[in-house]
Amino acid sequence: MEERGRFPYRFFVVTFAWSWLIWLPLVLAGAGIIPIVKDLLGAVTVPWIAVGVFGPAAGAFYCLRTLHGKGAVREYLRGLLDLRFGWWGWLAPPLVLGVTTWLAWILPELWGAPRLKMMLPAVWTFAPYLLLMIFFGGGQEELGWRGYILDPLEERLGPWLGNLVLAVIWAVWHVPLIFIPGTSQCFAPFLGFTLILIGYCYFYAAVREAAGKRTMVGLVTHGWGNAFVPLFPTIVMAEGAAQPRYWIWAGLTLLTGVIAMIVRSRNARRRLGSPDLLDDEQLDGSKHAEEMLPNKRMEQSAHS
């Protein structure tokens, strides 16, 4: 084990290696370096990308397994069964992420922009699509980003800077998707995309803190965020198209994240000023959140 306090390079090396190596054939195929029939490339792109999205989870599992043995991975995964998020953990993600995405989708119509059609085949498919997003469409990233590496980064850099650093790393991790035909990252302005991830990092971290740092709340929150994208589309999937909705979405998401972090910081100061608040005034009402952290050893291993 490396000395405690060092930057957790091991996690990021495994995370990037897993995802980028898996996505590399799609990048090469998109560039025409690997010859592949267009229809076949379109058929395999989504499931292939989904496998690569498990990179952060692979990084977390590798660190846990190598530093503490198989039992640490089982202990970590057992924590996913704890769904006691509290009212904030359950209600804030759909309400906040739904409203910000909806506003970005609908506001441009006020000055004459045509409505972007919903990308889902029907409204009733939203529920199964949400479950898909939680476990396979991005939510699984939280097994690594918030569930494993966030606490060490916040401990080392503080909540504001730690989440900002994680957001930039998270954005860079997505870079290969820019070069894979058919992904939304192909058409999204990268700066706007990064601003969205900064807002997400702040908001997800605040929700996780309010929910007693339960790992599963990260998967659910991330799943809600991704599921609203085709329901209230904010990006024109065409090369060179103006993206007013996307920039509105980026601004609203960043603003929401900053507000959530301000509230989190205020509550943290209140708890420090009055220790009784740890028991009586947690947002999720849980008096034993610390007992549900399956990864006390995880926080130590992530520093290596």
Interval 239-278: pLDDT, tens = 888 899 999 999 999 999 999 999 999 999 998 886 554 4
Kindly state whether residue 13 falls inside one of the protein's structural domains.
yes
> Distance between CA atoms of 302 and 72, rounded to whole angstroms?
12
pLDDT at 284 over 60: no
Kindly state whether residue 4 falls inside one of the protein's structural domains.
no
Residue 304: the pLDDT is 44
Kindly state whether residue 129 falls inside one of the protein's structural domains.
yes
Interval 31-57: pLDDT, tens = 889 888 888 888 899 999 999 999 999
Instruction: Calculate what percentage of the chain has a pLDDT beyond 70.
Output: 88
Rama region for 141: left / alpha / beta (φ>0; ψ in -120 to 50; rest) = alpha
pLDDT at 294 over 60: no
Residue 126: the pLDDT is 97
pLDDT at 299 over 80: no
Residue 266: the pLDDT is 95
Residue 240 structure tokens: 């060179």
Kindly state whether residue 3 falls inside one of the protein's structural domains.
no
Structurally, the chain folds into a number of domains equal to 1
Give me the phi and psi of 130, to 5 degrees please: -60, -45
Q: Are 223 and 138 in contact (CB under 8 A)?
A: yes
Kindly state whether residue 198 falls inside one of the protein's structural domains.
yes
> Distance between CA atoms of 9 and 152, rounded to whole angstroms?
12
Residue 298: the pLDDT is 46
Section 167-196 average pLDDT: 96
Residue 83 lies in domain: 9-301
Section 175-181 average pLDDT: 95
Over the chain, what is the mean pLDDT?
89
> Distance between CA atoms of 208 and 138, rounded to whole angstroms?
16
> Distance between CA atoms of 147 and 169, rounded to whole angstroms?
16
Which H or E run includes 275?
none
Strand spans (E) along 107-180: none
Residue 284: partners with Cβ closer than 8 Å, 6 or more residues away:
84, 85, 86, 87, 88, 89, 210, 211, 212
pTM, 2 dp:
0.88
- Three-class SS state of 281: coil
Rama region for 234: left / alpha / beta (φ>0; ψ in -120 to 50; rest) = alpha
Kindly state whether residue 2 falls inside one of the protein's structural domains.
no
Kindly state whether residue 222 falls inside one of the protein's structural domains.
yes
